[in-house]
Structure 1
Amino acid sequence: MDITKLVVSGRSQAFGDNSVYRGQLSRRLLKSRKKLGIATRNRGKYQRKDEITAEQIKEKPEYVRLLIITSERAWAHAMSMRSAHMADAKGITGRTRSHIISRIEKAAHTAEELVSALSDADESGAKSTDILEAFAYAGMMRGAANFERQSWEKCVKNYAVSYAIYSALKSSSSDADTYKDLLSTIIEPSIQFAAYQLKTPRTVPIHVIARNAFPMNNAFLVNEINERDSTVLGQGEESKKEASPGDVPKTLTWRSREVRIEDAAIALAWKATLAAKAALSAKVASSEPIVPKELASAYDDILAATLDAVDAAKQALDDLRAENVPQTDPRVQSLQITRTAVNYEMISWRIGRNRVLTGAHDGALDDYAELSKRELKRRAKAKEDSKPKEVRMSRKLNKLKERVALYDGALQNLEEARALPGVPADEELTQRLVATENYFTALKALSIARSHALTGSNTNALALLHHAHTLIQSSTKTIASAPNPRPPAPRKTSKSPPPTSPSSSPSSRGRCSATTPSATSTSACATTPKPQFSQDLPLIERLGEWPVQGPIFLDLAWNYIEYPSLDGAADDKKGRRCRQEATSRPGRGDKPATSQKRGWFGFGRS
C-alpha cells in the first residue's frame, strides 16, 4: 500500500507550499471518489458516508488512498492557514486558532480511522508493514494536533509511536531515506521542542525520550518493532550493551579551552566520532598492507560522524537563537567553541583522506604505480634489487593530474578552516594554517613541474620548483616549531597513525641540470625532478651536518654558501675576501701596486 511513500511524495511535489498541496489533494480526492463510485453528482448534496470497513479495503484497496488523501488535505488546510497568520502581531489566536485545530483534528481522526480499518489483517488483507505505517502516520497526525493544543505530554507520547516505528522500519527496509527524512524534519524536532516545554534536560537524547514515552501496553507494536530492530525499544542484546550516560563525553577541548557539552545530540555525535577514530587507528595499526584507496574508504565513518556533530552543533545554536538567547549568554559561547572544534575536526579528516589518496609522503615521491593488495605482498616478498615496471607517460600525467585535484581540495578545506569563528583571532593557529597552505601549494607546484618535465618544458619545470622552494622557505620556521615536525612515514607498514591535517609537513627539493631555453633536446634534463627526503628537515636546512643517507650535492658556488654551523668562520672568510678586494682596487689618489696590462693577452692599447 506504500502509505508513507504516498505521503512523502505528495508533499514533495508541492515544494513546501501547503496551499498548492491542498489544491493538488482536492483534485486527487475527486479522482479517487470517482474511481470508487462514491463521488457526489454535480450540484448534488454531499452526504456523509459511513466509516470505511476492513472488508471494503480488502475488496478495493483504493479506499486506503482515499483516507490518506482526505487526512492530508485537512492537514494541508491547517498548515496553510498557520503560515498565512504566522506574521500577525498578536499571533494565532481566537477563531483562527480554533479553525486550525479543527482541521488537524479531522486529519488525525481520519488517520485513526485508517488504523482501525487495517488492524485486522485477515479481514483487510493488509501486511504488517502497512499496519505499522498506518500507526506511525496516525501518531504523527495526532501528535501535530496535540502540538497545536499545547498538550506537550500527549504530544511526546504520540510522536514517540511514530519515532519508534519509523526507526525500526528505517533499519529493516531498503527505502530507509524516506523514513529518515520524516524523522529528521518533523518528528525529532517536535519531540525535542515538546520535551523542552516539559522541562526535560537537553542532555537527554531524543531516542531515550521516545523510548520512555512509548506505550509498552500495545503488544502488537512492541512485537513488530522488536522483530525489525530490538534496539529501538531497548530490549535487544545490543541495546543492553549500549553505553551508559556516564560514557558519553561531557566536555570537549579546543585549543586549551575546555567547554561542557550540554546538548545530547552533540554528545552522541562526538562519542561516535571518538569511536570512529579508534576504529580507524586500529585498522591502520594492523599488520596487513593497506591500499591507499581502501584506507581512504575507511575514513567514511569518521567523516559521517563528524558531519553529524557539525549538524548537531548548528541545530543547537539555531534553537538558542530562535529562543532569542543573547550572544553573551555562556551557553551560546560554549556552543560557538564547540561548533568551531567539530568543524575543524571534520576539515582535518577531510584533508587526511586526501593525503592518503595522494600516496606516500603526500605524493611528493616520484611514484605513479597504482598498487593492489596482491602487488603490495609481492613487493614485500621480492628482493630490493628487483626493478619495477616502467609506467607509461600518459598514466604518469593522469596520476599527476589527480594529485593536483587532491591538493586543490586540501587548499579549499584549509581556506574553510581559516574562516571558522575564532580562528582568525588565534595568531598561532593562523600561522600554522598558512604554513600548511604553503606546503600543499608547494606540492601542487611540484606535481605540475613534473608534468612539465615529462613533456620537455624544462624551463617551466625549474620555475615551478623555484616557486615551491620559496613557499617552503617561507613556512619552514613555522613547520619546524610545530608539535610534530616529523613527516608521515612511507606506507611500507601500516603502523603509523592515520594522517589528518598536517600541523607540520616535509618539504621536497628537486634538482635538474638544464640547458638554455633554446635547447630542444629533452635529454638535457637528466631526470624528472625527484624529491630528496630526510627524516626531520630538508637537506638545505641541514647544510652544516654530514648527510647520513642520500647523495651529496656538489655545487659550483659552494664557497658562497653560508653554513649554519660555521657562521663565525663564514663571516671571517667573507671579511678577508672583502679586504683583499679593497686592497687590490685602486683609489682616487693611489697608484696601482703593479702595472696592469690592457687588451687581449697582454697586447694593450696606448
Structure 2
Amino acid sequence: MDITEFVVSSRNAALLYGDYSTYHRQSTKKLANCRRKLGLATKNRGKFAKKGDVTADQISQDHAYLHLLLLTAERAWAHGMELKAIHSTDTKGLAGRTRSHIVSRIAKGAATAETAVELLSQKEASGASLNDLLEARAYASMIRGAAQFENHSWEPCVKSYSVAHIIYSALSSAQKTDTYKDLLSETIEPSIRYAAYQIKIPRTLTIPSIARKAFPSEPSLVEAVNQLGSNVLKQGSPDAQKEQGDAPNAPQTINWRGREVKIEDAAIGTALASTDAATSKLAEKLSSAEVALPKEMAAAYDDVLIASQDATDATKRAIEELKEEGVSQNDSRIQSLQITRTAVNYKMISWRIGRNRVLSGEHDGALLDSAPNTTRKAKKEAGTKKPKDEAPGRKIARLKEKVVLYDATLQSLDSIKELPGVAADEELLEQLDATYKYFHALK
C-alpha cells in the first residue's frame, strides 16, 4: 500500500515550491477528487447525505479508501502547520486560543490516522501486510506526537515519536530506502531531542536509547517489529551498539590545548569513538603494507576523514539545538561545545593536511626530479632498474598537481585560524604561521 511513500511524496511535491498553505490547498483538492472517484462526493446542488464510515473490506477492494483516510489526516495536519506558520512571527508567541486551534487540527489528523490503523489491523478483511500495518502505526504515532509537541505534552510526545522512530528504523534496516531515513533525521529525531530536553533527559543518552526506553511494551507491536528481522529493540545487538553510542570505548572528555572538556552529547562521543577506531585501522594499514603507493596511502585516510566529519557535524548540531532552545552564548554548555568544536575541527583539518602530504610524495614533494611510481611493479623494480627520463609535459603536469595540493593545505591552515579561540592562542598561531610559510615555500 506504500503508506509512507504516499505521504512523503505528497508533502515533498507541495513543500518543495510552496509552504503549508500550498499543501493544505493541494490536500483539499486531492481529497475532493478522491471522494468524487469513489462516489462519495455530494453532487452539484444535491442534498447532502452523510456517507458511511470506511470499512476494512472497502480498503481491501480499493486502496483509494485508505488514501481517503490519509488525505483527510494530511489535510488536518497541514491546516495546523499552516496556522502555526502564520502566527510564528507574533511577538508574544502563540496565544492560548491559537495554540488550542493548532492542536485540535493536528489531533484531528492523528485521530483519522489511528482509524486507519484500526482498520488495517483487521488483516483478513483489509488484506494489509505486516509492513502496511507498521507504516500506518508509525504514521499515526508521528502525527499524534506532533499534536502533543504543540500542546507541550512532552512525555507523551517522546513516547509517540519513539514508536515512530523504532518502526521507521526497523523498516529502514529491512528495506534500505532513504525515505525512512529522511523522516527520522529531519522530523522525528529533532522532536525527540527537544521534548527529551524539556523533561530533563540527559544529553548523554542517544536518541535511539531514548526511543527504546519509551517504546511501549505491547506484545503484538514488539513482535511485529521483531518480525522484520531487525535488531533495533535489542540492547545488546551490533546495530544497537552502533546506534546507541554509549559503548565503553566512547570518550567521556576531550582535551584541547591544556583544557579538558566533558563530552555531554552522546552523538559526539560516538563519532569520536569511531574516529579513534578508524585512526587505529589507518595506522595498522600503513605499517603492514609491504608496498604502498601514494594514492593507496591517501585512500586509507578516507575512513578517518569521514568519521572526523561526523564528529564536527554532531558538534555543530548540538550547538544549534542549544541555541534553538534559547540557551545563552555565555552558558557553560555552549562554551564547552565551542571548545569541542575547535578540537574536532582541528583534528579533521590535520588529517586532511596529512592526506595531502601523502599525495605530494616523499619529503612533501620537495624532490622535483623524482618521478612517482604509479604501479606496484614499477615501485618494486625502481631499485634495480635505472629510471627513465620523464617527458617535460608529464613533469609539468605533476608539478601542477603538487601546487593544487599545496593550495589546499594553505587554505586548510587559514581555516584553522578561524576556529573559536585560536586567534587568542599566540603559541598556536606561531606554529600555524611557520607551517604556512613552509608549504608556501614548497609551492
| Global fold match (TM > 0.5) | yes
- In structure 1, give the amino acid aligned to 2:376: L
Q: Which of 75, 79, 83 is the aligned partner of 1:81? A: 83
Give unpaired runs (5+ residues) of structure 1: 445-606
Q: Distance in 2 between matches of 1:211 and 1:273?
A: 26
Per-residue deviation, 1:292: 3.3
Per-residue deviation, 1:369: 4.2
1:420 aligns with 2:422: no
- Counterparts in 2 of 1:390 and 1:427: CA distance versus 1, 3 Å: same
What is the 5 A alignment of 1:110-189?
A: 110-176=112-178, 178-189=179-190
- Counterparts in 2 of 1:321 and 1:143: CA distance versus 1, 3 Å: same
1:329 aligns with 2:293: no
Per-residue deviation, 1:87: 2.7
* CA deviations over 1:560-597 (Å, ceiling 9, x no partner): xxxxxxxxxxxxxxxxxxxxxxxxxxxxxxxxxxxxxx
Per-residue deviation, 1:115: 1.9
Per-residue deviation, 1:294: 3.6
Per-residue deviation, 1:298: 3.2
- The corresponding residue for 1:7 is 7
- The corresponding residue for 1:24 is 26
- The corresponding residue for 1:402 is 401
Higher relative contact order (CA closer than 8 Å, sequence separation 6+): 2
Give unpaired runs (5+ residues) of structure 2: none
Q: Distance in 2 between matches of 1:227 and 1:203?
A: 29
- The corresponding residue for 1:108 is 110
- In structure 1, give the amino acid aligned to 2:172: K
1:208 aligns with 2:240: no
* CA deviations over 1:419-451 (Å, ceiling 9, x no partner): 11111111121122222222332333xxxxxxx
SS at match of 1:253: strand
- Tell which deviates more after alignment, 123-132 or 337-346: 123-132
- The corresponding residue for 1:604 is none
Q: Distance in 1 between matches of 2:348 and 2:319?
A: 18
Per-residue deviation, 1:225: 4.2
8 Å CA contact retained: 2:361, 2:372: no
SS at match of 2:335: helix
Normalised by the length of structure 1, the TM-score is 0.67
Q: Distance in 1 between matches of 2:361 and 2:107?
A: 61
- In structure 2, give the amino acid aligned to 1:250: Q
- The corresponding residue for 1:376 is 376
- Counterparts in 2 of 1:87 and 1:293: CA distance versus 1, 3 Å: same
1:234 aligns with 2:228: no
- In structure 1, give the amino acid aligned to 2:385: S
8 Å CA contact retained: 1:423, 1:429: yes
8 Å CA contact retained: 1:226, 1:235: no
* CA deviations over 1:109-162 (Å, ceiling 9, x no partner): 122122223334444333333332222111111111111222222111111111
Per-residue deviation, 1:232: 4.5
Give the paired residue count. 439
SS at match of 2:419: coil
SS at match of 1:40: coil
Q: Distance in 2 between matches of 1:198 and 1:126?
A: 37
- The corresponding residue for 1:435 is 434
- The corresponding residue for 1:196 is 197
Q: Distance in 1 between matches of 2:49 and 2:95?
A: 32
- Tell which deviates more after alignment, 222-231 or 87-96: 222-231
Per-residue deviation, 1:342: 1.3
SS at match of 1:42: coil
* CA deviations over 1:327-375 (Å, ceiling 9, x no partner): 333222211111111111222222223333333333334445462xxx3
- Counterparts in 2 of 1:384 and 1:368: CA distance versus 1, 3 Å: closer
Structure that is richer in helix per residue:
2
- Counterparts in 2 of 1:60 and 1:425: CA distance versus 1, 3 Å: same
8 Å CA contact retained: 2:241, 2:247: no
SS at match of 2:298: helix
8 Å CA contact retained: 2:134, 2:224: no
8 Å CA contact retained: 1:226, 1:232: no
Q: Distance in 1 between matches of 2:402 and 2:379?
A: 23
- The corresponding residue for 1:257 is 259
8 Å CA contact retained: 1:136, 1:165: yes
Q: Distance in 2 between matches of 1:189 and 1:409?
A: 35
8 Å CA contact retained: 1:289, 1:377: no
- The corresponding residue for 2:366 is 364
8 Å CA contact retained: 1:3, 1:133: yes
Normalised by the length of structure 2, the TM-score is 0.89
- The corresponding residue for 1:282 is 284
SS at match of 2:289: coil
* CA deviations over 1:154-210 (Å, ceiling 9, x no partner): 11111111111222233332323x222211221111111211222212222111111
- Counterparts in 2 of 1:312 and 1:116: CA distance versus 1, 3 Å: same
8 Å CA contact retained: 1:132, 1:221: no
8 Å CA contact retained: 2:99, 2:151: no
SS at match of 2:423: coil
Q: Distance in 2 between matches of 1:291 and 1:64?
A: 59
Q: Distance in 1 between matches of 2:306 and 2:382?
A: 41
- Counterparts in 2 of 1:194 and 1:420: CA distance versus 1, 3 Å: same
- In structure 2, give the amino acid aligned to 1:361: H
Q: Distance in 2 between matches of 1:274 and 1:121?
A: 49
- In structure 2, give the amino acid aligned to 1:406: L
What is the 5 A alignment of 1:584-599?
A: none
Pairwise CA RMSD: 2.7
Per-residue deviation, 1:390: 5.1
1:302 aligns with 2:301: no
- Counterparts in 2 of 1:44 and 1:294: CA distance versus 1, 3 Å: farther
- The corresponding residue for 2:73 is 71
Q: Distance in 2 between matches of 1:93 and 1:274?
A: 49
Q: Which of 263, 268, 271 is the aligned partner of 2:270? A: 268
Identity among equivalent pairs (%): 52
SS at match of 2:288: coil
Q: Distance in 2 between matches of 1:312 and 1:244?
A: 15
- Counterparts in 2 of 1:294 and 1:29: CA distance versus 1, 3 Å: farther
Per-residue deviation, 1:253: 0.3
